[in-house]
A = this chain, B = another copy of it.
Amino acid sequence: MNLSEKNQNIGISVSICLFCYNDEEKKVLTVENKDQPFKGALILPNKALDPNKSLEEICSEILFENIGNSNIYVEQLNAFGKVYRHPNGRIIDISFYGLINLEKDKVILNEDNGAAFTSLESFPEFAFDHNDMIEMALKRIKRRMKYRPLGKNLLPDQFTMNELEGLYASFLTKKFDKRNFRRRILEMNFLREVKKVQRNTRGRKAILYEFDPKKYNNYSKTGF
Chain A residues in contact with chain B, CB under 8 A? 1-3, 5-13, 35-36, 46-55, 76, 78-79, 81-83, 86, 88-92, 94, 143, 147
Task: State the CA gap A161–B89 with chains docked (Å).
Answer: 51
CB distance from A66 to the nearest CB of B (A): 15
- A90 engages B35 (CB within 8 Å): no
| A9-B7, A76-B78 known; A83-B2 Cβ under 8 A | no
**Which one of B6, B48, B82, B91 lies within 8 Å of A89 (CB-CB)?**
B6
Residues of chain B within 8 A (CB-CB) of A81 are 49, 54-55, 94
- A6 engages B52 (CB within 8 Å): no
Residues of chain B within 8 A (CB-CB) of A13 are 1
- B10 engages A91 (CB within 8 Å): no
Task: State the CA gap A90–B89 with chains docked (Å).
Answer: 21
Closest partner residue, chain B, to A95 (CB atom): B79
| A79-B79, A83-B52 known; A6-B11 Cβ under 8 A | yes
Sorted nearest first, the 4 A-B pairs with minimum C-beta distance are A6-B11, A55-B81, A79-B79, A51-B90
Task: State the CA gap A127–B70 with chains docked (Å).
Answer: 33
Closest partner residue, chain B, to A56 (CB atom): B81
- A54 engages B83 (CB within 8 Å): yes
Residues of chain B within 8 A (CB-CB) of A147 are 143
